[in-house]
Structure 1
Amino acid sequence: MRALPVDVPIVLGPFGGLSSIELTATVSELGGLGSFGLYGYDAGRIERTVTALRKRTAAPFALNLWLPRGDELSPDDSEASFAATVEALRPVFDELSLELPVRPARYLPPFGDQIEAVLEARPAVVSFVFGVPPRPVVDAAHERGIVVVGTATTVAEGLALQEGGVDVVVGTGMEAGGHRVSFLRAAEDSLVGLVALIPQLVDALDVPVIAAGGIADRRGVAAARALGAAGVQVGTAFLRTSVSAATDEHRAAIVSTSADGTVLTRAMSGRLGRGVPNRVLREIEASGVVAPFPVQNWLTGRFRTVASERGVADLQGFWAGQASLLTRDRADAEAVFAELAAGLSVPPRAP
């Protein structure tokens, strides 16, 4: 059985659009597994990212890909529906003095090109969200010595991933920030909390289970180990640090949001995700006009990027989990890692 190539079973959550070379390398060099999210990256950008990572560190790292679910372009993805969504967002573009976007030929690069570039790069680990990677992809990764990780929000998804040949399953509870990566049922019907999910995954699977969601300090790590997890994956606590790609406004939102202050929403991307509500999120939800993924994600990305560059907090997107407030005292990635590692003295419970 393949295992994660790490000394310390702490995995950096792969951020779609918010990963940084420095944070990924830092976690890996501390003995954990740094992860880099490749959402929206074409083959050339993947190659350049891997080159930068290897220039920064010789330690193992993971690359993360979103699997296509087949719903990326719905029957409603027409010029007319695109124009209607753009019109609903017109006040935001006007506020930033931006031209209205034109419908692109493609919203995302082909998955085949992405996976070919990742396999060519031969990272230590490749992780997937939103489904079971095709068996030929898993076999090709194994032939190259790459550990394959899948992500589950339910026991049924964990079993499907194991059947598909993955080496490790990340069990992500509903507390986690960012997108709900459910794939067998609707995300709204797959909201299982971490304390219920992890022991059931451990009991059902033969592969190691990594716990993700609501873990931000040693107490969360110790709890996950007591539930049987072989390790933990942590996102928000590292996203809050100075070496992530988050903006200062995003970091401020993380450290000022209570456990009941985040929301589940489709407003920013068209898929359900957990984040901190702000004015633009509320206005999009109030409009009642949300395009399917990836159209909505592409459209909001046109103004979110500019708002981030200009420091306009009300027009950015702030993904964050329910343990956000627990991150307030640690802005340094090394300090976050040390705090998490302090909870590893609890041995994992045998299934």
Structure 2
Amino acid sequence: MSNPRAAFCERFGLDLPVIQAPMIGPKPALAPAVSAAGGLGSIACAALTPDGVRAEVERLRALTDRPYALNFFAHARAAPDPEREAGWKRRLAAYYAEFGLDPDSVAPGPERAPFDAAMAELVTALRPPVVSFHFGLPEEGLLARVREAGCRILGCATTVAEARWLAERGVDAVIAQGVEAGGHRGLFLSDDIGRQVGTMALVPQVVDAVDLPVIAAGGIADARGAAAAFALGAAAVQVGTAYLLCEEAGLSAAHRAALAESGDSDTALTTVFTGRPARGILNRAMRELGPISPDAPAFPRAAAALQPLRAAAEAQGSGAFTPLWSGQAAALARPCTAAELTRTLASGAERLR
């Protein structure tokens, strides 16, 4: 019987079937440390300019010659909605008053740009070994340029239907993202979060549905979770939250403390920080504004008005208005180096099989 993990590693040039999830926030040292250890380090590019992406790739290449992934968003841009955005500011007015802030001084929020022609041009120039996409895939012309650059392509699915959709469009592997995962849901065929599927139910169904390597993501923070995913047919695991406690991640003190104190029921899906469902540790903003808010502007426009509140609270050492992204298995994570975690996930899982 063939070993899907060995086949995946051979195809992607890896020593270990472990992928560090792309996450906006951790320091640039994380991805090269994972790649150097034999896994696949990922650079989150949606919040970067092309020059920013190039700089991170150059930094990684200076530290390791091992494979890495660039991750991009593939969402459709939301049209400006001044009325809804004004209503969101009114919803936040009491918090502005509490911190002595002027709601009329809100600057444009952080951009979360979809993959476009400029990024396709950059991919053509950089030729990264792997490119992954969240929220579906870009239009075929842009996707063809990624293929022509010789990149392996990963797509994220949160349902079997999304996995089949990705397979029909020629991805090289499917990331099966269970509802336990931290950060943004990768859903794109439906926005019904009530029908999202858990990792251990999703992975074997995706394995049966597509003739491609399947990468398990969501709720995997130690070797036991990786072993369970491999037993269900996964060719690799993608891990995010556990890497946030690695020293290379350089996470804020408030976020690290929240992760260290988090239990199994301390996270929820929320739209208050960006306008799109994402899992994070419950804090004041989530409890009082949501967690799911019909007032939040469409992704990513909800973020702008929260930025001043986040900065003011963080200046006081509080994460009350910070998106504390985390999966449901944060309590299983332990502080260590990225290399230690990468190797332990793989070797420990093999011993448990």
Q: Do these two structures clear the TM 0.5 threshold for a shared fold by scoring above it?
A: yes
Deviations 1:264-307 (A, max 9, x none): 11111111111111112222228863222111023324443554
> Given that residues 273 and 306 in structure 2 are in contact (C-alpha distance below 8 angstroms), is that contact kept between their aligned partners in structure 1?
yes
> Given that residues 47 and 110 in structure 2 are in contact (C-alpha distance below 8 angstroms), is that contact kept between their aligned partners in structure 1?
no
Give distance in 2, aligned partners of 1:58 and 1:202: 31
Give distance in 2, aligned partners of 1:149 and 1:182: 14
**Distance change in 2, residues 1:111/1:337 (3 Å):** closer
Partner residue of 2:17 out of 3, 9, 17: 9
Q: Are residues 1:23 and 2:30 paired?
A: yes
Single out whichever of 294-303 and 261-270 deviates more from structure 2: 294-303
Q: Are residues 1:82 and 2:100 paired?
A: no
Give distance in 1, aligned partners of 2:128 and 2:27: 16
Give distance in 2, aligned partners of 1:347 and 1:217: 11
AA matched with 2:144: D
Describe the SS at the equivalent of 2:56. Answer: helix
> Given that residues 76 and 114 in structure 2 are in contact (C-alpha distance below 8 angstroms), is that contact kept between their aligned partners in structure 1?
no
Give distance in 2, aligned partners of 1:110 and 1:199: 30
Matches within 5 A, 1:61-76: 61-70=68-77, 72-73=78-79
**Distance change in 2, residues 1:82/1:46 (3 Å):** same
Any gaps of 5 or more consecutive residues in structure 2?
A: 1-6
Give distance in 1, aligned partners of 2:264 and 2:57: 35
**Cα deviation, residue 106, structure 1:** 9.4
Give distance in 1, aligned partners of 2:110 and 2:252: 27
User: What is the root-mean-square deviation in Å for CA atoms of aligned residues?
Assistant: 2.5
> Given that residues 46 and 72 in structure 2 are in contact (C-alpha distance below 8 angstroms), is that contact kept between their aligned partners in structure 1?
yes
Give distance in 2, aligned partners of 1:135 and 1:212: 26
**Distance change in 2, residues 1:61/1:310 (3 Å):** farther
TM-score by length of 2: 0.88
Describe the SS at the equivalent of 2:350. Answer: coil
Deviations 1:20-76 (A, max 9, x none): 211101000000000011122222222222222222322221110010235x22xxx
Partner of 2:319: 313
AA matched with 2:42: S
Partner of 1:205: 210
AA matched with 1:118: V
TM-score by length of 1: 0.89
> Given that residues 38 and 64 in structure 1 are in contact (C-alpha distance below 8 angstroms), is that contact kept between their aligned partners in structure 2?
yes
Q: Are residues 1:116 and 2:124 paired?
A: no
Q: Are residues 1:221 and 2:229 paired?
A: no
Single out whichever of 177-186 and 134-143 deviates more from structure 2: 134-143
The alignment of Structure 1 onto Structure 2 pairs a total of residues equal to: 342
**Distance change in 2, residues 1:339/1:108 (3 Å):** closer
AA matched with 2:344: E
> Given that residues 19 and 238 in structure 2 are in contact (C-alpha distance below 8 angstroms), is that contact kept between their aligned partners in structure 1?
yes
Matches within 5 A, 1:1-351: 3-15=11-23, 17-70=24-77, 72-73=78-79, 77-100=80-103, 101-102=105-106, 104=108, 107-109=111-113, 111-112=115-116, 113-285=118-290, 289-305=295-311, 307-308=313-314, 311-327=317-333, 329-345=334-350
| Percent identity (aligned) | 38
**Distance change in 2, residues 1:274/1:110 (3 Å):** closer
Give distance in 2, aligned partners of 1:347 and 1:285: 40
**Cα deviation, residue 234, structure 1:** 0.2
Deviations 1:182-203 (A, max 9, x none): 1111141441011111111111
Deviations 1:69-104 (A, max 9, x none): 35x22xxx4333222212222333444444434474
